Amino acid sequence: EDGKPNRPVVYEDVREDTVIELINWNERKAEAEAAKFEEMASLHEKEAERIREAHEKALEKAAEEAKARAVANEEKKKMASELRALQEALARTQASLKQVEAKSASLESKLKTLNEASNANAEVKAKLRNESHTVAGLKGYVSRLKRHKARYETLQKDNQKSEENLNGLKKAYVSTFATLRATKDNVEKLATEAMNLKRTRPTGAWSFGSTSTEKKNEKVTCKNGHLVRLYPRNGGGWACDGRHNKGGCKSGCTGFYQLRGVTRYRCSACDFDYCGKCHDFLANGEKEPESWKERKVTCTKGHELRPERYNTNGWACDGRKEECGCLSGCTGFRQLSTVERFRCRACDFDLCGKCYNSKKAGIVPVGKTCYLKAHTGKYVYTANRHASAQSSTKGTKEAVRFKEIAPGRYVITSVDSGKNLQVDKSQGLCRFENQNEGAWETFKIEKHGNLIFLMSHLKTVVQVKPNGTMYAENTNRQAWEGLVVEV
């Protein structure tokens, strides 16, 4: 009305203020995020500095241990030189002792002659007294030589103790060196991450790449076809899944908590593990003998047993109800909290890892002519009544055959006589007595690596003594009890 142009509508002013406020808010947010990223980078730098200081302290400790080890080496060298000097002195003393003994024998003969002639000649009596004094002096010299010998033996014992202390220092050095290497790797990893945080500003979630440099092997995979890779963290709470393959685990693993410190290859996606020996065995393309075929292990109603991942303590191995008992020594409930478990949930049937593996074929070549080799390098000889490992050759009299009369229960028959190996109930003596297939002739077989162990109806394990005789006296599973099956 007054001739002036109309002002813009109010909505446009409001929109411009809103945009400006939104821009200012975005700038404040960006500044806050930048401050947050800088704070995180500072924290990582402090953590790297702390670990670097720990690394320096560990290096100082290693230097002190090296110094102590050098002092121990010097002491050992000094004692070795003293020992050599004493050995030389002892050799000279022994030579002198022989001469003295010869001289003493000669003087004693002379003394006897002089005693016989003493009544006839006074001059001979005087000479005899002089010779007696000489013999007494020689006896004193011999007593001093014996004291020197005792001192030499004491020094030898001290030297052995010093060598044992030196071996202990060597083991401590190896352990410290491994710790230092792990600490160094952690320091380098944190330093790299700190530099990346300082130089870059990620827009998404933080992601720290793995620094693992394990060697890939495209030959060995898990059960689902994924590659297994070298796993750096190796505690004791794992088990090699190669124990389910033909022939079992090459490291002798039958359950969990048995492979602390053993090389580990893992597929994390499938929770699948191989020990170093099984991995190398598969990587080289080796195979088990064709005659050792694998078979499913079932419950009493024919259902296949499956590994039970969640293993509580409130269970018992049903293998304890059989004649030879449970191979893990189970006699009731709440005894197998750390033992591997195989289960049929429909029938509430359980087996421990050792009993499960003993029922799988592949432990021994059933029906094949084979030979049992003991820790002494000798083969079991079957021609005599009493079983013994005394033969160095493989012939008809050393040949045996395994027969499976029930799942996991075997009879061992001599090819030469046709008699079965049995364990005497009263003495535990092993002998080839008759052709029965009863309790005395029945064995459970447990396999560890390439060794088998024969458990008798007495729940004792057959062993071969150094003289070759065979008894079932205890439950050990060591060198004396281990047998090798050669086809």
More confidently predicted of 385 and 16: 385
* 3-class secondary-structure state, position 72: helix
Distance in Å from the first CA to the final CA of the chain:
119
The highest-confidence range among 60-69, 323-332, 355-364, by mean pLDDT, is: 60-69
Asked if 378 contacts 389 with a C-beta cutoff of 8 angstroms, the reply is yes
Question: Alpha-carbon distance 420 to 412, whole Å?
Answer: 6
**Where residue 372 falls among pLDDT bands split at 50, 70, 90?**
very high
Question: Alpha-carbon distance 356 to 343, whole Å?
Answer: 10
Residue 211 has pLDDT above 70, yes or no: no
Give the least confident one: 160-164, 270-274, 280-284: 160-164
Question: Alpha-carbon distance 194 to 42, whole Å?
Answer: 8
Q: What is the mean pLDDT of residues 413-437?
A: 90
DSSP annotation of 67: H
Q: What is the mean pLDDT of residues 78-100?
A: 87
pLDDT of 412: 94
Cα→Cα distances 454→165, 217, 331, 394, 409, Å = 40, 38, 19, 21, 10
pLDDT of 472: 92
Residue 267 has pLDDT above 70, yes or no: yes
Residue 330 has pLDDT above 70, yes or no: yes
Q: Which two tokens stand for residue 91?
A: 């050799």
Within 8 A by CB and 6+ apart from 381, the residues are 387, 388, 389, 390, 391, 397, 398
Residue 294 has pLDDT above 60, yes or no: no
pLDDT of 200: 45
- pLDDT, one tens digit per residue, over 43-55 is 888 888 888 888 8
**Where residue 201 falls among pLDDT bands split at 50, 70, 90?**
very low
pLDDT of 24: 87
pLDDT of 312: 72
Phi, psi of 80 (to 5 degrees): -65, -40
- pLDDT, one tens digit per residue, over 1-30 is 455 555 554 444 456 778 888 888 888 888
Adjacency order of strands within the sheet including 470-474: 444-448, 451-455, 461-464, 470-474
Helix (H) or strand (E) holding 265: strand 264-267
pLDDT of 217: 43
The alpha carbons of the chain give a radius of gyration, in whole angstroms, of: 40
Asked if 213 contacts 188 with a C-beta cutoff of 8 angstroms, the reply is no
Percentage with pLDDT > 70 across the chain: 81
**Where residue 414 falls among pLDDT bands split at 50, 70, 90?**
very high
More confidently predicted of 327 and 26: 26
Residue 350 has pLDDT above 60, yes or no: yes
DSSP lists the bridge partners of residue 469 as 388
DSSP lists the bridge partners of residue 455 as 444, 461
**Where residue 293 falls among pLDDT bands split at 50, 70, 90?**
very low
**Where residue 421 falls among pLDDT bands split at 50, 70, 90?**
very high
More confidently predicted of 408 and 288: 408
Give the least confident one: 94-98, 171-175, 409-413: 171-175
pLDDT of 291: 40
* pTM tops 0.85, yes or no: no
Give the least confident one: 16-20, 81-85, 89-93, 98-102: 16-20
Residue 149 has pLDDT above 70, yes or no: yes
- pLDDT, one tens digit per residue, over 428-466 is 899 998 988 888 899 988 877 678 899 898 889 999 999
**Which residue has 């050599």 as its token pair?**
84
Residue 210 has pLDDT above 60, yes or no: no
* 3-class secondary-structure state, position 205: coil
Helix (H) or strand (E) holding 350: strand 349-352
Residue 255 has pLDDT above 60, yes or no: yes
- pLDDT, one tens digit per residue, over 393-410 is 988 899 999 988 877 788
DSSP states of 399-454: EEEEEEEETTEEEEEETTT-PEEEE-TTT-BEEEEES--SGGG-BEEEEETTEEEE
Question: Alpha-carbon distance 391 to 399, whole Å?
Answer: 11
Q: What is the mean pLDDT of residues 88-107?
A: 87
Among 158, 159, 176, 155, residue whose Cα is nearest residue 68: 176
**Which residue has 């419950």 as its token pair?**
299
pLDDT of 413: 93
Q: Which two tokens stand for residue 118?
A: 């003493």
Within 8 A by CB and 6+ apart from 435, the residues are 413, 418, 419, 420
Asked if 174 contacts 32 with a C-beta cutoff of 8 angstroms, the reply is no
Q: What is the mean pLDDT of residues 418-433?
A: 89
Cα→Cα distances 344→248, 305, 318, 410, Å = 21, 5, 11, 24
Question: Alpha-carbon distance 198 to 34, whole Å?
Answer: 11
Percentage with pLDDT > 90 across the chain: 13
Give the least confident one: 5-19, 150-164, 223-237: 5-19
Average pLDDT, the chain: 80
Cα→Cα distances 346→304, 321, 333, Å = 10, 19, 19
Phi, psi of 248 (to 5 degrees): 75, -175
More confidently predicted of 215 and 152: 152
* Sign, Cα dihedral of 426, 431, 436, 437: positive
